[in-house]
Amino acid sequence: MKSLIFKFSTVFMFAGLLSAQTTDPVLMKINGKPVLKSEFEYIYNKNNSNNSLDKKTLNEYVDLFVNFKLKVEEAKAQGIDTTKSFVNELAGYRSQLTKPYLTDAKVDDAVLKEAYNRMQEDIEVSHILIRTTPNASPDDTLKAWKSIQTIAKRLEKKEDFAKVAKEISEDESAKDNKGYIGWISAFRTVYPFESMAYNTKVGTLSQPVRTAFGYHIIKVHNRRNTLGEILVSHIMCFTAKDDTAKNVAAKQKIDSLYARIQAGDDFGKLANQFSDDRGSATKNGELPWFGSGRMVPDFENAAFALKNVGDVSAPILSPYGWHIIKLIDHKGLAPFESMKEDLQSKVKRDERANLGVKSFVAKLKNDYQFQVNANSVKDFVNLLDTKTLSDSIFQAEASQLEKPLISYAGTTKTQADFAKYLKTSTSTDKTDAASIIDDKLSNFAEKELLAYEDTQLEKKYDDFRFLMQEYHDGILLFEVSNNEVWEKASKDTVGLATYFNQHKTDYKWEKPHFKGRVISCKNEATFKAAKAIVKKSNNDSIDKYLRTRLNDSIQYVKIEKNLYVQGDNKQVDKQIFKSKVPVVADKDYPFVFISGKLLKSMPENYIDVRGLVTADYQEFLEKQWIEKLRSKFNVEINKSVLETVKQN
């Protein structure tokens, strides 16, 4: 039911549907409150669009629109718009609607396309890492920077990259792989590493790049068009680094299994029975789909070397053990549009997630002439110099500051505002006072600018204003209609009965109906007992007595209660409608009798046709309600303005 109400509130996220008008005349007044022409035009044309199944003329729609607005006015009169549930629901809708307006859509789209373009190409890389944490002190950061610069100079002198990586890289795996990572694609590494790799030419070294792990120098060995993704099964035999006996046994086992596969044994059954990778063994060795960079290089290279579905590799050795791999399926990169939703999901979990917002905030700063009082910032740096953000002394001293701190769009935020923000945001990955305050001020400014911009959306964007008005009115419409018509009709049994009795002839039947029970019994004794109970009991208590008196741990009697026409039930057809179609008795409940009455032309009471009566009664209440609202609230329509409404 609620979805029907939101016919007026369907979300069409498009900008500039109606351009801002220099004049927006009042089309009508409901209870003295103006409704502008632009709002009516927007809703009329959207709900009366080319794909609408129920087009209305302009005058017909005016009538519907007035009724809609009258109900909204009644909801306000009842105070529904002040309830906590209404306020929270509307705020939830607004939170979702604002997102496209509070980011740089061009940057967001560019980020998605950049990721998709990178996914079309794999890059083979090695790296050297000098570790430093995101919250490293300036001294530690400088030390790491000097170390990576020293390494860069050694490499410029043509020292062997693999040798230097094994000797000095702080990536623990470099001792074994000499810095070699293998093939990567988008989202396979942290974003700064990925970007530097994709922007470095084959056969060259990157400039040092900092990530959350430290400083890297990347060597790009090769590029290739993406191999797509493959689905494989494998059989695995674990090996151990310093256990010769185990490794020999693993090799013998894998060779034996490979021989059996070549002889025609079923790969899946062998994987299920003998693979040491029990996680995949229970699925006949099947692994999830994977592309470049998701598996160790030895396994990945062997898997992608398989050309045809069903091909099986010879045993190959990875750092974890021996594998036999079978190719199940292969797929290329899907088109951008079909991957867009998945890309958006991945971007949200990635460092590039906030690029659109950052770009948008930069534009806001320019548009709103954002300024920072440098001296006010220094006050915070000086207070924090020997303290932490969570230090109660720092918080107490900061709360006493009162100077202007930032200004934008005629708005000023003071040091006191920033101090309140710092109390709620004490975690940081920075270590020196200046960096901490600079980082927190940036976040504070972003928060304030976005909050301010949120308040301007209705003024800037007609489509947003109209959508919010639709949601506002749509929620009120649902609640007040539910109270006045839908729920009221369903619970008003006296009203339903009265309405039915006054309109009985509207519910005449073309075919006779049988109203009653089909009672199936397990044996003859139960059959006789059930008949006796039915004969002595009143209609309302029959079901209860049959179940409580005849059933125990075993169900001796089954009851089916309904309103039947011929063709609904074979037993009813035979015993009531005298059908000659043979009936095959239920072998578990072979004794059957019928109890009830035949209604030849119309229902006995409203319960027999409750759904139909309820719908008609709701329509009756709706008409009464509209008449009441039209007498309660004044409606004025400007006919001359109505004549200028544009119709798509």
Q: Are strands 513-521 and 557-564 parallel, antiparallel or unpaired?
A: antiparallel
Instruction: Please state the rounded mean pLDDT for residues 198-219.
Output: 96
The answer on 609 and 487 residing in a single domain is: yes
The answer on 12 and 47 residing in a single domain is: yes
Question: What is the distance between the alpha carbons of residues 446 and 365, in angstroms, rounded to a whole number?
Answer: 9
DSSP 381-394: HHHHTTS-TT-HHH
Question: What is the distance between the alpha carbons of residues 546 and 556, in angstroms, rounded to a whole number?
Answer: 9
pLDDT of residue 55: 61
Question: What is the distance between the alpha carbons of residues 218 and 130, in angstroms, rounded to a whole number?
Answer: 12
pLDDT of residue 138: 78
pLDDT of residue 107: 96
Residue 31 has pLDDT above 60, yes or no: yes
The answer on 316 and 208 residing in a single domain is: no
Cα angle value 189/191/193 (rounded, 5°): 65
Q: Is the dihedral of CA 543, 546, 551, 555 positive or negative?
A: negative
114 part of a folded domain: no
Domain termination residue (choose one: 183, 205, 225): 225
* 179 burial via Cβ count (<10 Å: 0-12, 13-18, 19+): buried
The answer on 264 and 289 residing in a single domain is: yes
pLDDT of residue 646: 81
Q: What is the pLDDT of residues 586-614, one digit of tens each?
A: 999 999 999 999 999 999 999 999 999 99
pLDDT of residue 428: 84
Give the torsion through C-alpha atoms of 100, 103, 106, 110, to 10 deg: -100
Q: What is the pLDDT of residues 367-381, one digit of tens each?
A: 999 999 999 999 999
Phi then psi dihedrals of residue 537, to 5 deg: -90, 155
AA identity, residue 595: S
pLDDT of residue 4: 39
Question: What is the distance between the alpha carbons of residues 418 and 396, in angstroms, rounded to a whole number?
Answer: 13
pLDDT of residue 338: 93
Question: What is the distance between the alpha carbons of residues 236 and 253, in angstroms, rounded to a whole number?
Answer: 10
The answer on 277 and 152 residing in a single domain is: no
99 part of a folded domain: no
CA 278 to each of CA 233, 284, 375: distance values in angstroms, whole numbers, following the listed order: 12, 10, 64
343 part of a folded domain: no
pLDDT of residue 602: 93
The answer on 624 and 495 residing in a single domain is: yes
The answer on 380 and 302 residing in a single domain is: no
Instruction: Please state the rounded mean pLDDT for residues 28-43.
Output: 92
Residue 6 pLDDT class (50, 70, 90 cuts): very low
Half-sphere exposure of 551 (CA within 13 A, CB side): 14
Domain termination residue (choose one: 390, 425, 458): 458
Residue 8 has pLDDT above 80, yes or no: no
pLDDT of residue 51: 52
The answer on 443 and 493 residing in a single domain is: no
pLDDT of residue 5: 41
Give residue 362's Cα distance to chain centre: 28
Give residue 438's Cα distance to chain centre: 34
266 part of a folded domain: yes
Instruction: Please state the rounded mean pLDDT for residues 128-138.
Output: 88
CA 642 to each of CA 51, 71, 404, 465, 634: distance values in angstroms, whole numbers, following the listed order: 24, 21, 51, 21, 18
Q: Where are the beta strands (DSSP E) in 539-634?
A: 557-564, 591-599
DSSP 29-63: EETTEEEEHHHHHHHHHHHTSTT-SS---HHHHHH
pLDDT of residue 20: 39
Structure tokens at 489: 């009709």
pLDDT of residue 647: 76
* Beta-ladder partners of 312: 326
Residue 525 has pLDDT above 90, yes or no: yes
412 part of a folded domain: yes
The answer on 307 and 382 residing in a single domain is: no
Question: What is the distance between the alpha carbons of residues 469 and 32, in angstroms, rounded to a whole number?
Answer: 18
The answer on 517 and 435 residing in a single domain is: no
pLDDT of residue 147: 96
Using an 8 Å Cβ cutoff, are 377 and 401 in contact? no
Q: What is the pLDDT of residues 561-582, one digit of tens each?
A: 999 999 999 999 999 999 888 8
Structure tokens at 431: 């270590």
Residue 314 has pLDDT above 70, yes or no: yes
The answer on 165 and 17 residing in a single domain is: no
Half-sphere exposure of 348 (CA within 13 A, CB side): 6
Using an 8 Å Cβ cutoff, are 34 and 500 in contact? no
Q: What is the pLDDT of residues 262-279, one digit of tens each?
A: 999 999 999 999 999 999
DSSP 618-648: HHHHHHHHHHHHHHHS-EEE-HHHHTT----
Using an 8 Å Cβ cutoff, are 301 and 230 in contact? no
358 part of a folded domain: no
DSSP 422-475: HHH----S--SHHHHHHHHHHHHHHHHHHHHHHHHHHHH-HHHHHHHHHHHHHH
Domain termination residue (choose one: 225, 253, 285): 225
Helix boundaries (H) for 185-309: 191-198, 244-262, 267-274, 278-281, 297-305
Question: What is the 3-state composition of the chain as percent helix, strand, coil, each rounded to the nearest 5?
Answer: 55, 15, 30
Question: What is the distance between the alpha carbons of residues 622 and 481, in angstroms, rounded to a whole number?
Answer: 9
Could you give the 3-state DSSP secondary structure of residue 552? coil
pLDDT of residue 362: 97
Give percent of the chain above pLDDT 70. Answer: 95
Domain count, the chain: 5
105 part of a folded domain: no
CA 542 to each of CA 11, 268, 340, 440: distance values in angstroms, whole numbers, following the listed order: 52, 59, 61, 74
The answer on 391 and 253 residing in a single domain is: no
Mean pLDDT over each residue of the chain, to the nearest integer: 92
Q: Supply the CATH number for residue 627's domain.
A: 1.10.4030
Residue 394 has pLDDT above 70, yes or no: yes
Phi then psi dihedrals of residue 237, to 5 deg: -125, 115
**Domain span at residue 271?**
229-331
98 part of a folded domain: no
Q: What is the pLDDT of residues 491-515, one digit of tens each?
A: 999 999 999 999 999 999 999 999 9
Which residues, 6 or more positions from 68, have their beta carbon under 8 angstroms from its beta carbon?
8, 473, 477
Cα angle value 556/562/567 (rounded, 5°): 100
pLDDT of residue 50: 54
Residue 69 has pLDDT above 90, yes or no: yes
Q: Supply the CATH number for residue 204's domain.
A: 3.10.50.40
Residue 315 has pLDDT above 80, yes or no: yes
pTM (predicted TM-score): 0.72
CA 565 to each of CA 7, 513, 515, 594, 608: distance values in angstroms, whole numbers, following the listed order: 37, 5, 9, 14, 13
Q: What is the pLDDT of residues 102-125, one digit of tens each?
A: 999 999 999 999 999 999 999 999
Residue 17 has pLDDT above 60, yes or no: no
Q: Where are the beta strands (DSSP E) in 349-390?
A: 371-372
